[in-house]
């Protein structure tokens, strides 16, 4: 993956090193280091529906937790990542399983057409420039068998960052949540190094149809606080006011602006 800044092209692969994957910048690290999977990744596994006889590709496999869970369920699994560090971590995690791991760009996957029953794109699209993101979606469509399923997750929601968060910071400080505000500000600033293409729901839906997918179901998770299980929400007080604010923010249509977990399930036609 490359980035063009003022006409100069930079290779971003060195950013995605062991330090990146073994930190909170890569979702689910706390659970990974304790030998489990995050709630979010467990949902990805469930949507992929792994079972014997089913072939699954994780296109951007990261540390490999999803592949491991799918392999344990009897599925045939493959993983692609352009980061050598990711593939090294995944290879160690899946030692003993028959796994097809390949270093590859998501815009040029090294598998034939109609190879997989299900493909995961988990927290990848926000790291790609829009033309690369469109090319990736077309590739994911290409390697899926007719009727095959794409499961996609991305965060954060661009509308939350641009519209909601600037308005929410001051009231949260007044409510005594200044430490949470500071943590989120710090995480947002750090993520800007990696996030080139944060999504909003209408744009994501259009991109999937444009790539040739059909039967697209895209939504924003209404659990905007991730049940206080995310490293950015875990220290929120378990107080009636916080719970009420979470319910209100997760209601329709407010979660279009307040939610951050964007999901999509789409099928190859």
pTM more than 0.95 = no
Please give the Cα distance from 261 to 123 (Å, whole number): 10
Condensed to tens digits (0 to 9), the pLDDT of residues 198-214 reads 999 999 999 999 999 99
| Tokens encoding 116 | 């997989």
Calculate the average pLDDT of the chain: 91
Evaluate if residue 57 carries a pLDDT over 80.
yes
Condensed to tens digits (0 to 9), the pLDDT of residues 134-174 reads 999 999 999 999 999 999 999 999 999 999 999 999 999 99
Please give the Cα distance from 15 to 193 (Å, whole number): 9
* Pairing status of strand 116-122 against strand 262-268: unpaired
| Tokens encoding 26 | 């890569």
In Å, how far are 130, 160, 178, 205 from 164, measured between CA atoms? 23, 5, 16, 21
Min mean pLDDT across 67-71, 124-128, 141-145, 243-247 is at 243-247
Taking a C-beta distance cutoff of 8 angstroms, is the pair 13, 1 a contact?
A: yes
Evaluate if residue 53 carries a pLDDT over 80.
yes
Please give the Cα distance from 14 to 140 (Å, whole number): 24
What DSSP element (H or E) covers 205? helix 201-210
Q: Estimate the crossing angle of helix 84-93 against helix 65-72, to 10 degrees.
A: 30
Residue 2: predicted pLDDT: 47
**b/e string for 170-209 if b means 16 or more Cβ within 10 A?**
eebeeeebeebbebbeeeeeebeeebbbbbbbebbbebbe
Q: Quickly count helices (H) and strands (E) in the chain.
A: 12, 9
Spatial CB neighbours of 183, under 8 Å, sequence gap ≥ 6? 232, 235
Condensed to tens digits (0 to 9), the pLDDT of residues 180-200 reads 899 999 989 989 888 999 999
CATH topology of domain 2-157+196-224+258-268: Rossmann fold (3.40.50)
Select from 211, 214, 209, 206 the least CA-distant residue to 267.
214
């Amino acid at each position: 993956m490359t980035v063009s800044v003022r006409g100069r092209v930079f290779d971003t692969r060195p950013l995605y090193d062991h330090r990146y994957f073994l930190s909170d910048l890569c979702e689910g690290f706390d659970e990974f280091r304790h030998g489990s999977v995050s709630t979010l990744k467990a949902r990805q596994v469930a949507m992929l529906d792994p079972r014997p006889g089913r072939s699954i590709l994780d296109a951007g496999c990261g540390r490999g937790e999803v592949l491991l869970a799918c392999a344990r369920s009897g599925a045939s699994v493959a993983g692609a990542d352009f980061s050598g560090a990711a593939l090294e971590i995944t290879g160690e995690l899946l030692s003993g399983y028959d796994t097809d791991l390949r270093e590859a760009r998501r815009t040029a996957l090294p598998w034939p057409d109609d190879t997989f029953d299900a493909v995961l794109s988990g927290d990848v699209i926000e790291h790609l420039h829009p033309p690369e993101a469109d090319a990736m979606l077309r590739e994911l469509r290409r390697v899926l068998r007719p009727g095959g399923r794409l499961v996609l997750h991305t965060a954060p929601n661009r509308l939350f960052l641009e519209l909601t968060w600037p308005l929410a910071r001051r009231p949260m400080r007044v409510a005594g949540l200044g430490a949470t505000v500071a943590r989120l500000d710090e995480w947002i600033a750090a993520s800007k190094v990696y996030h080139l293409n944060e999504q909003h729901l209408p744009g994501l839906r259009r991109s999937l149809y444009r790539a040739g997918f059909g039967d697209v179901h895209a939504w924003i998770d209404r659990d905007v606080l991730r049940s206080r299980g995310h490293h950015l929400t875990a220290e929120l007080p378990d107080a009636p006011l916080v719970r009420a604010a979470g319910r209100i923010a997760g209601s329709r249509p407010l979660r279009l602006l307040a939610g951050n977990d964007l999901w999509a399930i789409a099928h190859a036609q």
